[in-house]
Amino acid sequence: MLAHVHSAAAFVLAAASGGTTSGKEESSNFLVSPDVGLMVWTLLSFVVALLVLRKYAFPAISEALDKRQRMIEESIDAAAASKAESEALLAEYRERLKEARAQADEIVASARKAGDEVQRSAAESGQAKRDELVEQAKKDIEGETRRAIQEIRSEVADLTVAATEKVTRRTLTAEDQKRLVEDALSELDFSSLGERSN
């Protein structure tokens, strides 16, 4: 198609110069030294093309450029607004994070304090419980000691009566048994048993 346009342009130019192109020599001469007619037609074609472009193409191009400029400005404004909003959200997020950390620190401190309080209370309670158990154990030991001493006395009395009856080969009266038991028991030191239990 470019060859056809070139041929047509050469033909128009040749016609404008007043002759036909008969050879390569004339054609090359024509391009090197154009005449006034060709210049007028070229200028006239340029002016017509310029007017047509100015009437139809330039307004559409200008409108498209204006529309594109408005879109770019709106995009820039939207980006600026979005950036401002994201910065505000980031600042709010940082503030909330700071508050959350402060609350977490407060909760940890409160938990430590409560743990220390529970530990102290448990230690006090344990000490009280231990003291109570020791006291109860002392009471139990004293009771058992008294019971054991009573049993020992009873055994000593029975053994003393039995041994005396065997030695004397006679049965003792109740009064003799009482006196014998008291004598035997007075010789035993039961106080040392009570002191050992304490």
Please indicate, yes or no, if residue 144 is contained in any of the structural domains.
Answer: yes
| Tokens linked to 102 | 């402060």
Among 82-96, 99-113, 165-179, the minimum mean pLDDT is found in 165-179
Tell me how far apart the alpha carbons of residues 17 and 36 are, in angstroms, rounded to a whole number. 9
Q: What mean pLDDT do residues 70-96 have?
A: 91
Check residue 152 and give its pLDDT: 77
Confidence grade of residue 191 (pLDDT, cut at 50, 70, 90): low
Domain count, the chain: 1
Tell me how far apart the alpha carbons of residues 139 and 132 are, in angstroms, rounded to a whole number. 11
| Tokens linked to 13 | 């130019």
Please indicate, yes or no, if residue 10 is contained in any of the structural domains.
Answer: no
**Phi, psi torsion values for 170, nearest 5 degrees:** -145, 160
**Phi, psi torsion values for 172, nearest 5 degrees:** -85, 150
Please indicate, yes or no, if residue 61 is contained in any of the structural domains.
Answer: no
Tell me how far apart the alpha carbons of residues 125 and 123 are, in angstroms, rounded to a whole number. 5
Please indicate, yes or no, if residue 54 is contained in any of the structural domains.
Answer: no
pLDDT at 73 over 60: yes
Please indicate, yes or no, if residue 153 is contained in any of the structural domains.
Answer: yes
Tell me how far apart the alpha carbons of residues 105 and 54 are, in angstroms, rounded to a whole number. 74
Note down the domain range covering 184.
Answer: 136-197
pLDDT at 18 over 60: no
Please indicate, yes or no, if residue 163 is contained in any of the structural domains.
Answer: yes
Check residue 80 and give its pLDDT: 92
Q: What mean pLDDT do residues 36-46 have?
A: 87
Please indicate, yes or no, if residue 146 is contained in any of the structural domains.
Answer: yes
Element (H, E) at 195: helix 191-197
DSSP code string of 59-112: HHHHHHHHHHHHHHHHHHHHHHHHHHHHHHHHHHHHHHHHHHHHHHHHHHHHHH
| Tokens linked to 33 | 């030294």
Instruction: Please give the model's pTM, rounded to 2 decimal places.
Output: 0.34
User: Sign (positive/negative) of CA torsion 23, 24, 26, 27?
Assistant: positive
pLDDT digits (tens, 9 = 90+) for 84-103: 988 988 898 899 888 988 88
Check residue 104 and give its pLDDT: 86
